[in-house]
Chains A and B, each alone.
Chain A
Amino acid sequence: MIRICCSILLMTLMCVPTASAHKLLLTAWVEDGAIVVETAFSNGGAADGAKVQIFAANGTEIFSGEAGADGIFESPIPAAILQSAPDLRVVSNAGAGHMIETIVPGEDYAALLPDEDTAVSSTEAASAPAEAVPADALQADALAALQESIRTEVREGIREEVQAAVRKEVQPLKRELLAMRDAGPGMTEVVGGIGYIFGLAGLILLLKAPGRSKTPKL
Chain B
Amino acid sequence: MHITEGVLSMPVLIAGAGLSALGVWRGLARLDMERMLPTAVLASVFFVGSLIHVPLGPSSVHLLLNGLAGMVLGWAAFPCILVALFLQAVLFQFGGLLVLGVNTFNVALPAIACGVLLRSLLRKGGGRTALAGFLGGAGAVLGTALLVAFSLAFTDEGFWTTAKLVVAAHIPVMLIEGLITMCAVVFLARTRPDMLGLGCHPSHCSEASA
Contact = CB atoms under 8 A, between A and B. Distances in A.
A97 B2 contact: yes
Given A20-B53, A45-B59, A9 B169 contact: no
B122 to A, nearest CB: 18
A45 B169 CA distance: 14
Interface stretch (B13-21, B83-91, B127-135): B83-91
Interface stretch (A29-37, A117-125, A152-160, A190-198): A190-198
Of B5, B92, B161, most A-chain CB atoms within 10 Å? B92
B39 interface: yes
Interface in B49-82: 49-53, 58-62
B94 interface: yes
Interface string B132-146: 000000000000000
Given A8-B41, A95-B157, A204-B36, A189 B7 contact: no
Interface of B is mostly: helix
B33 A23 contact: no
Interface in A179-218: 184-185, 189-190, 192-194, 196-198, 200-201, 204-205, 208-209
Nearest to A12: B48
Contact of B48 (A5, A15, A184): A15
Contacts, number: 132
B138 to A, nearest CB: 19
A21 B94 contact: yes
A41 B33 CA distance: 41
Interface residues of B, number: 52
B53 A19 contact: yes
Interface of B: 1-7, 31-33, 36-41, 43-45, 47-53, 58-62, 83-84, 87-88, 91-94, 148, 151-152, 157, 161-162, 165-166, 169, 184, 188, 191-192
B201 to A, nearest CB: 9
Given A5-B37, A8-B45, A43-B53, A95 B165 contact: yes
A198 B40 contact: yes
Contacts of B2: 23, 97
A21 B36 contact: no
Interface stretch (A79-87, A98-106, A134-142): A98-106
B51 A93 contact: no
Given A196-B87, A197-B47, A22 B169 contact: no
Given A189-B92, A197-B40, A208 B33 contact: yes
Contacts of A198: 40, 44
Contacts of B33: 205, 208-209
Nearest to B184: A8
Contacts of A19: 51-53, 62
Given A4-B191, A15-B52, A99-B4, A43 B83 contact: no
Contact of A21 (B59, B92, B151): B92
A5 B184 CA distance: 11
Contact of A96 (B44, B87, B166): B166
A97 B6 CA distance: 9
